[in-house]
A and B are shown apart, each in its own frame.
Chain A
């Protein structure tokens, strides 16, 4: 039971997938339309019962990058302590990925967070709305084309005077 075997079984089931190893960590890149299948296979076939995190990277302005967003799924097998990183690349104008809430209920808030900050829509998510930012926020602030100091959201409040309070 090693990560090598997991990668091998993945490529047996889904055809060759690009994988890389770095300092004991294994990363497999998966096409986004097979993402749900792959994660389901890992969960049900290989015992990866714990979804550690879902996050995203914006590769805009990144040297030699072809795709815009890289979704990162960190899954772990709590019986064997095996960990693997699954990556899926999604693109503008409407980045979309399948929701995995049906596999891990814990994916609910993680996917909402990625939607909130990067604007990647998860199809099949039961309740996809903002989780950290206020509901009326209209941008996705962790995208690289969003200015660091915002578009005036932090200035958009009523001024309270002594007379009013």
Chain B
């Protein structure tokens, strides 16, 4: 049974529509701990203008955000704070690991700096650079928008994917020698 649609009506999947709404209204939570934070501020400022991508409303409360941008190195004293903030954010939520330090620890291979937040938190996008220029961060946000549009579902089924369940580095460490080493190190204070 054919239904006549007027020309100004189009049909789509609900998931597509919801993802389209979500991707164009990202509310970043700036977790800026180092020089990446300066670039993050520049990205939000008028010259680079994150408003062009619908992500200009930075909120400093995790309750009002859905995109955590971890900009800068995270030390062992800060990681429990970071994890708590992540837990406080409402779903659906995404995480960008901005810069070398947040992604891998960068040059700070010392006792107190966490060697990549993706060992302990799920991360969706990585922005390379030290620090990344605003263009790079904007590209990361565009890529994240693409990811939300292509994979997003209304009830967040895509987050149940085992790949996205676990933090990436924790996944990679599993079943490897390093994991055993890690467990051994955990035993000793």
What is the interface of chain A, defined by CB distance below 8 A to chain B?
133-134, 138-139, 141, 146-165
Contacts and interface: CB of A to CB of B under 8 A. Distances in A.
Dominant secondary structure of chain A at its interface with chain B:
loop
Given A159-B119, A165-B86, A151 B110 contact: no
B110 A149 contact: yes
A150 to B, nearest CB: 3
Interface residues of B, number: 31
Interface string B138-177: 0000000000000000000001100011110010000000
A144 to B, nearest CB: 13
Contacts of A155: 115, 119, 182, 185-186
12 contacts: A149-B109, A151-B185, A154-B115, A155-B115, A155-B119, A155-B182, A156-B186, A157-B119, A159-B120, A160-B87, A162-B159, A165-B89
B180 to A, nearest CB: 12
Contacts of B119: 155, 157, 159
A163 B162 CA distance: 10
A153 B122 CA distance: 20
A138 B189 CA distance: 7
B87 to A, nearest CB: 5
Contacts of A134: 76-77
B70 to A, nearest CB: 13
Given A133-B77, A153-B76, A160 B111 contact: no
Nearest to B86: A165
Contacts of B36: none
A162 B122 contact: yes
A160 B112 contact: no
A158 to B, nearest CB: 7
A150 B76 CA distance: 11
Interface in B7-43: none
Interface in B96-123: 109-115, 119-122
Interface in B50-87: 76-77, 79-80, 83, 86-87
